[in-house]
Amino acid sequence: AKYLGQGSPQLFDQRMQKNFRSRLQLETDLRRAIERDELLLNYQLIVSLLTGEIAGFEALVRWNHPKRGLVSPVQFIPLAEETGLIVPIGEWVLRTACKQMRQWQIEQLVNHNVTMSVNVAGRQFAQLKLVNMIQDILQETGLDAKLLRLEITEGVIMEHFESATTQLQQLRDLGIQLSIDDFGTGYSSLSRLQQFPIDILKIDRSFVSPLGSKAENREIVETIINLAVNLKMSVVAEGVETLEQILELKQLGCHYGQGYFFSRPLDSEGIKQLILNHQFK
């Protein structure tokens, strides 16, 4: 700590160094996570509120760290974005999710209209060959493009407006569907939103959670649902945990729900058991 001069900053400096080292360590570990086979996907059901059937899944990445155990994506996705590691990780996620979906189709575990949603980070749009890469994965896995949905946050669309627009249009031309994730949290302007070829809005959990209790939140959710319907999009409510929320969402005309009420995110074996043992079809 000498270079910082003498005296009191030392303790602080030590702590900073420790944080810095552990971050660096995490980055080194993350760099190796793919080749060491430490990443895995969990899947969460997206259920039709009209029929109660499985409409799709969302793939959610997990990192099984050899020392730290399961590391949440909330911790390592931001690091992956900063370091650019999101590019290989994102590609692994896409390939694994498409392969899994095709596998479930072959095993006749799911209907042939069931979709797979994959989160795509902003940084991935800076990658030149994103569209080609996705096209290759579809070809390689044999998954129908119509069944792949990419989830993009409002923030990403606004930040990467120029580069993302062309690529999103190309992806859409392939038949891939596009969702806006965490809708309502990103202050997107409606005029910009309208310029995007979006198929699905996902209402953020923070608006869904208070449903069934706080009346004032009803209006926000109602507004989002009406907006989506008017723009001919479908709506998914995230973070659905109670029957009260479901009843209210149905009443407001929401099409799909996703949340612990239906199922937590599960690994592929867990999903298989859920479908085989459960009323879900």
| β-bridge partners, 202 | 236
Residue 119 interacting with ligand C2E (CB under 6 A): yes
Token pair belonging to 156? 């990403």
Residue 91 interacting with ligand C2E (CB under 6 A): no
Token pair belonging to 133? 């890469």
DSSP designation for 266: B
Binding piece for ligand C2E, criterion CB under 6 A, among 8-16, 68-76, 106-114, 138-146: 68-76
Q: In whole angstroms, give the CA distance from residue 76 to residue 63.
A: 8
Work out what residue 61 binds among ligand C2E, Ca ion, none; the CB cut-off runs from 5 to 8 Å by kind. Answer: ligand C2E
Cβ distance 10 to 4 under 8 Å? Answer: yes
Q: In whole angstroms, give the CA distance from residue 61 to residue 252.
A: 31
Per-residue binding string, Ca ion, 214-253, x by CB under 5 A, is ------------------------x---------------
| Residue 11: HSE in the Cβ half-sphere, 13 Å Cα cutoff | 1
Q: In whole angstroms, give the CA distance from residue 57 to residue 54.
A: 8
Task: Please say which residue, 15 or 264, places its beta carbon nearer to ligand C2E.
Answer: 264
- Residue 229: CB minimum distance to Ca ion, A: 20
CA 25 to centroid of chain Cα atoms? 26
Grouping H, G, I as helix, E, B as strand and the rest as coil, residue 178 is: strand
Among 98, 110, 121, 180, binds ligand C2E (CB under 6 A): 121
Residue 96 interacting with ligand C2E (CB under 6 A): no
- Residue 94: CB minimum distance to Ca ion, A: 14
Per-residue binding string, ligand C2E, 221-250, x by CB under 6 A, is -----------------xxxx---------
Residues 33-62 that bind ligand C2E (CB under 6 A): 44, 60-61
Instruction: Using CB under 5 A, list all residues that contact Ca ion.
Output: 119, 151, 181-182, 204-205, 238
